[in-house]
Amino acid sequence: MFVIMVYDIKEKRVAKILKISRKYLTWIQNSVFEGDITEAHFVKLKHELKKAIKKEEDSVVFYTFRTKDYTSREILGIEKGKSETII
């Protein structure tokens, strides 16, 4: 399956969330990850994130697709995923 993940996390927990997410997905932009992932890994990712976020303050949205069948991904402005400016 293909997953697009968008997070909105309080700054103090961002590094932890990035570390978890990078094990499973590819970083695209400051708040976006995407990637092909198995169902089992997706369950693990959600489980790890659930433990790491504070559910009253943070938010993570997952869009899941059977395949990477979106027509296109376009970026306006900086293509952050290509640089290594991330903390």
Applying CB under 8 A, which residues contact a second copy?
1, 4, 6, 8, 28-32, 46, 49-50, 53-66, 69-80
Question: C-beta of 6: minimal distance to a second copy in Å?
Answer: 5
Least distance to a second copy, CB of residue 53, Å: 5
Shortest distance in whole angstroms from residue 44 CB to a second copy: 13
Residue placing its CB nearer to a second copy in the complex, 1 or 18: 1
Could you identify the residue written with the tokens 């640089």?
83
Are the C-beta atoms of 45 and 25 separated by less than 8 Å? yes
Asked if 1 contacts 25 with a C-beta cutoff of 8 angstroms, the reply is no
- Our measurement of the distance from residue 39's CA atom to the centroid of its chain's CA atoms, rounded to an integer in Å, reads 15
